[in-house]
Structure 1
Amino acid sequence: LTGADALAWWHRRATQAGLNCTSHPHMTPAPFHPTRPGPSPQHHLTRFDGTATITDPEALTHALITGIGRGKSYGAGLLSLLPA
């Protein structure tokens, strides 16, 4: 996904993960480098940076542990949090 589709995906997943986005996220294409030799799946990754308020601590805990995207086995769909 790119552009508006990627942004809509992020807002949907962030809300499900117990977050309320308080800023417009900065979207950055992120390179995908497979670690095993041979044919690899094609992933087009996007990094989202922004600020949010926690609205559901239980949902956020679950999202931090399990991730939010389909490419988790490749390091995609993971959340990192920093205090604002």
Structure 2
Amino acid sequence: MKSNNLHTLLTTPQVCNKLGISNSTLRRYIVNGLLPKGIKFNAQSNVWFEYEIDQFITARINGNDLTTLKELAKTLSNKRPTILTQNLGKALYGA
């Protein structure tokens, strides 16, 4: 389930489908700190990096407890500025 693609973005319906959960369960995971909040894409949409969802799935498969999942969500959120900057640089400069 490990995805190294930092460029792939998933919409809310795609995340729900990949996790096999409903919208309300996704919101509950976010409110409880199990998943990072989505990145605001526009006024009505949020997106997540696919690798974030893949890491969450891997952690669940490995039987990680809630505390570990919350730490993972924080780590993923904290990595976003760096990843967004790197992706923007690649988009602008083709590097």
Question: TM-score w.r.t. structure 2 length?
Answer: 0.25
Higher helix share: 2
Question: TM-score w.r.t. structure 1 length?
Answer: 0.27
Larger RCO, structure (CA 8 Å, separation 6 or more): 2
Higher strand share: 1
